């Protein structure tokens, strides 16, 4: 019998013919070669399957699976996980492009850090024509990622390499939180392993009109709020008011009372996070600074109300120098605008 590959690259695709060749070839051109490429065609109706077959005919590392009907990303990913044989599972999307050294860098890191079960990296966003824009970097430290999970998704799904064993331990992807299944997976995996991100940019992340994020934005937001609520409730060991979480995501506040409720929640989450004795001083410092910036943003929602200084006071407790600079900068902008 052939030995199992070190890595299983897992890619679902649905009607992805436009960018498919570029995505497939970016994996086949990796400098790390000990991998299988598990591709799940989720019932495509365009030429996706024919394109995949043309590659599989000449590439024994490709494992093709075809769903008779479209069952969605989460179910397709779980099907791929069942077939994967590698120690590590690397995610890939059919409209993105991995740099040639991506797998090499991620395997080397995971080999050196057995405590880490999920590893992402920085990305450069490109448009539908491949034109590059900003580079997005994500926190590297597990404690900071755990904190950020309260508010958003701090790991880019297509960049991830995971230990197959830990993903199996939490049951794979949830099929109840579609379009935010990755955010939910990190929330559950953070309870059984450490999460990290490489600072290197190793993937071009494509954003275009047909991508799932844009097509299902409303549902993604709804499910993201549910996951954020679960993570906050886990952090505080109590049922956090979901209305406050919704306001933090929407940034829509009806008066100072709503702002103060949100600020109190952020402050308490920060205090609970930095109480973790396993965090390094640097991690605690980064969490305090991020919480202070979030509180400053909340205080700016109600600048016309003098009681907003209460929210600003919470921010100053966490990072007085940063907030002092932020207040000075905002005052300069206000004066400048009035002089114009």
Q: How confident is the model at residue 267 (pLDDT cuts 50, 70, 90)?
A: very high
Task: Write out pLDDT tens, residues 2-30.
Answer: 689 999 999 999 999 999 999 999 999 99
- Supply the pLDDT for residue 191: 95
* pLDDT above 70 for 302: no
Provide the CATH number for the domain around residue 183: 3.90.550.10
Q: What is the DSSP letter of 241?
A: -
Regarding whether 304 and 164 lie in a shared domain, the answer is: no
Residue 2 within a domain: no
272 part of a folded domain: yes
**Ordered alpha helix ranges (H), the chain:** 17-28, 48-56, 73-83, 102-112, 142-148, 164-169, 181-189, 212-215, 217-236, 242-250, 256-274, 281-299, 309-318, 320-339
Residue 236 lies in a domain: no
The tally of domains found in the chain comes to 2
Percent of the chain with pLDDT over 90: 81
Whether 204 and 245 share a structural domain: no
What residue numbers bound the domain in which 53 lies? 7-216
Which of these three, 216, 233, 264, is where a domain ends?
216
Report whether pLDDT(163) > 70.
yes
Residue 235 belongs to a domain:
no
- Record the tokens describing residue 41, joined without a space: 């065609």
My answer on whether 22 and 97 are in the same domain is: yes
Q: What is the rounded average pLDDT of the residues 37-58?
A: 97
Q: Is residue 289 helix, strand or coil?
A: helix
Q: Are residues 314 and 278 in the same domain?
A: yes
Q: What is the pLDDT of residue 329?
A: 72
Q: Could you read off the pLDDT of 213-251 as tens digits, one per residue?
A: 555 788 899 999 999 999 999 999 999 999 999 999 999
Kindly state whether residues 253 and 316 are assigned to the same domain: yes
Do 40 and 172 sit in the same domain of this protein?
Answer: yes
- The pTM of this model reads 0.91
**Residue from 115, 174, 147, 318 nearest 228 by CA:** 147
């Amino acid at each position: 019998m052939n030995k199992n590959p070190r890595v299983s690259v897992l890619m679902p695709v649905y009607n992805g013919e436009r960018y498919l060749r570029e995505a497939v070839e970016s994996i086949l051109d990796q400098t790390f070669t000990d991998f299988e490429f598990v591709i799940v065609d989720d019932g495509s109706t365009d030429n996706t399957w024919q394109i995949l077959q043309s590659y599989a005919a000449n590439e024994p590392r490709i494992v093709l699976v075809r769903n008779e009907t479209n069952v969605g990303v989460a179910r397709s990913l779980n099907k791929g996980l069942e077939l994967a044989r590698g120690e590590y599972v690397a995610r890939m999307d059919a409209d993105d492009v991995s740099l040639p050294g991506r797998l090499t860098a991620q395997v080397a890191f995971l080999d050196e850090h057995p405590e880490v079960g999920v590893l992402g990296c920085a990305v450069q966003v490109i448009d539908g024509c491949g034109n590059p824009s900003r580079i997005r970097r994500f926190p590297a430290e597990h404690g900071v990622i755990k904190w950020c999970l309260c508010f958003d998704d701090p790991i880019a799904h297509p960049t991830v390499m995971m230990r197959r064993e830990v993903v199996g331990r939490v049951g794979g992807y949830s099929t109840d939180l579609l379009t935010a299944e990755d955010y939910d997976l990190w929330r559950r995996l953070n309870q059984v392993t450490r999460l990290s991100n490489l600072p290197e940019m190793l993937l071009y992340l494509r954003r275009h009109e047909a991508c799932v994020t844009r097509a299902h934005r409303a549902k993604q937001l709804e499910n993201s709020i549910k996951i954020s609520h679960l993570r906050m409730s886990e952090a505080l060991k109590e049922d956090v008011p979901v209305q406050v979480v919704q306001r933090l995501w929407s940034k829509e506040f009806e008066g100072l009372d709503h702002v103060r409720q949100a600020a109190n929640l952020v402050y308490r989450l920060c205090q609970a996070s930095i109480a973790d004795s396993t965090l390094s001083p640097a991690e605690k410092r980064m969490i305090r600074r991020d919480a202070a910036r979030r509180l400053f943003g909340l205080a700016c929602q109600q600048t016309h109300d003098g009681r907003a200084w209460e929210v600003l006071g919470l921010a100053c407790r966490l990072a007085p120098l940063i907030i002092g600079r932020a207040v000075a900068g905002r005052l300069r902008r206000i004066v400048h605008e009035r002089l114009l």
